[in-house]
Structure 1
C-alpha cells in the first residue's frame, strides 16, 4: 500500500488484454481472442561481515533532546486486509526531489527512446524511466544501517543480532544475484543490542496502512534521539528498522511491514533526513517450514521501494503479476524481479534491451533473465506511458518456483499507481489452474509463460508477439508484428 501526498483519481489496471493462439504455424493470422490475466486491484550471517563496530553490552535507551524537522501531512491510501495466500508487505512513499536517483537515465536521442516510457508525475513510484530523484541508489556499494528496536511492553526476545541474522547475509546475496553483481549491498549494525523505545508499542498507533503522521513521525523521532549519539547517519544510504517480532500482530493476521521512501521531510540526523527507511515487523512464517530459508524476503521487497519500485500486488494479492516479481509476492518460495525493473534499476544495460517500436515484423533472440550478459528484454511500446515487455524466465538464479519456463509477456503502465496493477502478466493458459501447488505462489499465473507455437495478440493495438523457437542454450526467438 502507498501513502501519498496526493491520491491519483483514476486507478485500476491497464490489463494485458490479448489473445493466446496455440498454433503450429506462428505466422497464422487467425486465432480465437481471449483475455490474458488481468488484475484489479538459513544461515545466520557472520557478525564481522554484517555489523559494524560493537558498542558494548547493554540495551540502548533514553532520549536525547533534538529539534524536529518540518512536518507535512500525508494522505493514506490503505488496501484492505488480504487473505494469507495474498498477503504481501505494505509500502508507502512520500515523493521527493532530493539529489539522488534510483536508476539510469536515457539520452533523448537514444535508439531506445520510444521504449523509454515516461514517468507519470501524478503517480507515486511510477514504472516510467528514469526513476525520479529522491530514492536510494540501486547500483554500486550501498551501505544499509540496521537498527533492531524493541519496546517497554515488548522486550526483544534473545539477542538483537539473532534478529539481524534472519535477514543477512541472505538479503545481500539476493540483491547480488538479481543485479548480476551490480548492487553491492553492505548491511551494518553499529548498535548490536536492542534499541529500546521510550513508549509502549501501542502508543505509537502503528497499524496496517498507518500514515506517517503522527505515529511514524514520533517513532522515527525517538529512534533518531536514542541512536544518534552513537550512529553517524550521514554514512548510510538507507535504513532498516528491524522491529522485535513480538511487537504487534502476527503477519498471519496482518502485515505491518512498510517503507517510507523519498521523504525529504523525515526527521534529520547528522544533517541527513531518514528519507528512505524500511520497517519490518513480525515474521512472515506461513507454517510450511520454509521461514529459515525464505523469511528474509520481506526485506528485499521493502528495499525495492527504497529504490523506487512500486507494489505490484493488488487487493487480489498477486492477481496481476503472481510470483514473477518480489514486488508482487514475497512470501515463501524465492523469486526474482521482472526484467523491466532490472532495466529501471540499472542492472541491465541499454545494449541488452530490444526496442520493437516500428511497424512491420522484427525477430529478437532473448536469453534467460537469470544469466549474465546478452539480450534480456524486448519492449513493444503502445503509448508514451505503456507497452509490452518480453523476457525469458527459467528456474535459475532467484527464481526457485518456476514450474513452466518460457517467454513471459506483461504490460507495463507508468500511469497506474502502486498497488493498483501497474504491471499485468499475460497468461498463456487462462483458467488452467497453473502448474504449482506451492504455498504462497499464485497458482493461476505459474504457467503464464509462452512456448514455441504460441502467440500473444493485442488486436486493439495491432500487436502480435509470437514465440518461434527455443535454442539449446536456453534462449528463445520471438517475432513482434506491428500493424
Structure 2
C-alpha cells in the first residue's frame, strides 16, 4: 500500500520514522496479535466496559436495541421541507450533493466496508403548513414547537414517502427560508413515537444547515442515531472553547476536526472492530503490543491485527490506545502517532465520556487549522512516552515496522 503523503501543516518532526527497524520489532509485533470472535464483544473481554444508564453510554458489552446498529446496509430517506412565503433558491437535487455521497463514503472508510449507508433522495420539496418562523427553530428548541414541526413534516411527506422502507430519516429545511437557524441541526429522540405507514418513528435528524453545510455535520448527527455521544464540552456561559475534551480527534467531538475518524473505541462499539482486533493490556505484565493505524484500510490478514489497546482502570473506566495516521478520513491529521484517551461508561453524552490525554502538554500545533491546538499534537511519536498519574500507567512507543505497525509498551509508572 502506498504511504500517505504528509498533509499540509503537519509537523514533520512528529512524522519521523526510525531509519532502520530491527527485525526483532516485527517479531514482537507478530506475537502480540490476539485472535477473537467474529463480532464485536461477543467474548465479553475483560477490558470491555459495561453499559450503564448514562445517555449514550460508552459501554461495549452489549447493544442498545432502541438504536439501529450500523454493521450492515441501512436505508436513509432525505426529505426536503419548504415553507409558505419562501421560495427555495436551490433544488433538492442540488442540496443533496452537500451530503451525499460524501457521508456514505465517510462511513464506508470508517467501517472498513462493513457499513453501507444507502441514501434515498426525495427530489421534490414538501410544503410545510406554517412559515419557519412559526416553529421557533433554534438550538435549545421549545419542545412543543419542535413536536409540531415533526408532526407537520411527517404528515406533509407521508403521501409521497413510505416511511416503512427506511431505517433513518433526514428532514432538511430550506436553508434560505426566514427563521431557519443553522445552529438547530440535531437528532431528535422521541419518548413517545409517532406512527406512519404502520411503523414507529422514534428518531429524526433535523437539518437546518446553510449551503454549503458544516464539514461532516451529517456524519456527526448520524453518529447519534447509532447511539454515539457528544464528546465536546459546552461551556456554561456558551462562550469559550467547546473542544477541550478531545480536540480534533473523532467527529463526535467536532465535525470540523482535522482527524474526524471515529475513535477505535467507538468502532468497537459499532461492530467495525472485532474482539480479535482489541488487545486487553495488563501493565503489571509488560510486553510489546502492536497497533495497526486506525484509518488504514483492511488488507489480507489485517482483520486479526489489533487496532485498539485497552487498559481497564476501574468498573466504569479504561485507558484506550490507538494509532492515528494521515490516510483515509484522517488524511488532514495534524500529527501522527499513538493517541491515548480515557473512557468512562457512566458519564453521559456531553459531560466528558472521553478525555484525550496530551502527550505533549507544553506545546500546541496547527494553529489556524486545528479546533484545539493544545491537543493537536497529543499523539506520541516513536521514542516518546507519557505517564498517566491518575491510573499509575506509563505508555512508551518503541518503534514502527516497515509495514506501518506501531509497537507500544504499557507498564506501571514509578512516579
1:471–1:138 Cα change, 3 Å: same
1:367 aligned to 2:297?
no
Report deviation, 1:413: 0.7
1:106 pairs with one of 5, 17, 41: 41
SS in 2 for 1:143: strand
The answer for the alignment partner of 1:265 in structure 2 is 192
The residue matched to 1:340 in structure 2 has which SS?
helix
CA distance in 2, matches of 1:249, 1:224: 20
In 2, the alpha carbon distance for the partners of 1:116 and 1:379 equals 8
C-alpha separation between the residues in 2 aligned to 1:222 and 1:238? Answer: 18
Q: Normalising by structure 2, what TM-score?
A: 0.82
**Aligned Cα root-mean-square deviation (Å):** 2.1
Alignment check: 8 A CA contact 2:283 2:393 kept: no
Report the counterpart of residue 392 of structure 2 in structure 1. Answer: 462
Contact 2:249 2:258 in 1 (8 A): no
Aligned partners of 2:370 and 2:376 also within 8 Å: no
Deviation for aligned residue 1:401 = 2.2
* 2:87 alignment counterpart: 155
> Would you say 1:344 and 2:344 are equivalent positions?
no
Q: How does 1:228-307 map to 2 (within 5 A)?
A: 228-247=158-177, 255-261=183-189, 263=190, 265-283=192-210, 295=214, 297-307=216-226
Q: What is the rounded CA distance, in whole Å, between the counterparts of 1:408 and 1:358 in structure 2?
A: 17
Summarize deviations over 1:34-90 as a string: whole Å, max 9, x none.
Answer: xxxxxxxxxxxxxxxxxxxxxxxxxxxxxxxxxxxxxxxxxxxxxxxxxxxxxxxxx
Q: Does 1:395 align with 2:326?
A: yes
Q: Report the counterpart of residue 108 of structure 2 in structure 1.
A: 176
Q: Is the 8 A contact 2:250 2:257 kept in 1?
A: no
Structure 1: gaps (5+ residues): 1-103, 286-290
How far has the Cα of 1:227 moved from its partner? 1.3
- Residues 424 and 344 (structure 1), Cα distance of their counterparts in 2 relative to 1, 3 Å cut: same
Q: TM-score scaled by structure 1?
A: 0.71
Alignment partner of 1:308 is 2:227: yes
Q: Distance in 1 between matches of 2:193 and 2:101?
A: 28
Distance (whole Å) between structure 1 residues aligned to residue 324 and residue 283 of structure 2: 26
Judging changes above 3 Å, is the alpha-carbon distance between structure 1 residues 395 and 347 closer, same or farther for their aligned structure 2 residues?
A: same
1:324 equivalenced with 2:252 (yes/no): no
Counterpart position of 1:15 = none
**Distance in 2 between the 1:219 and 1:416 partners?**
31
Rounded Cα–Cα distance in structure 1 between residues aligned with 2:225 and 2:255:
16
Q: Name the CA distance, whole Å, in 1 between partners of 2:319 and 2:327.
A: 23
Partner SS state of residue 398, structure 1: helix
Corresponding residue for 1:140? 72
Kept after mapping to 1: 8 A contact 2:40/2:273: no
Q: CA deviation at 1:442?
A: 2.2
> Aligned partners of 1:196, 1:349: CA distance in 2, in Å?
45
Number of the residue aligned with 1:49: none
Match of 1:226 in 2: 156
SS at match of 2:124: coil
| Cα separation, partners in 2 of 1:332 and 1:463, compared to 1, 3 Å | closer
SS of residue matched to 2:192: coil
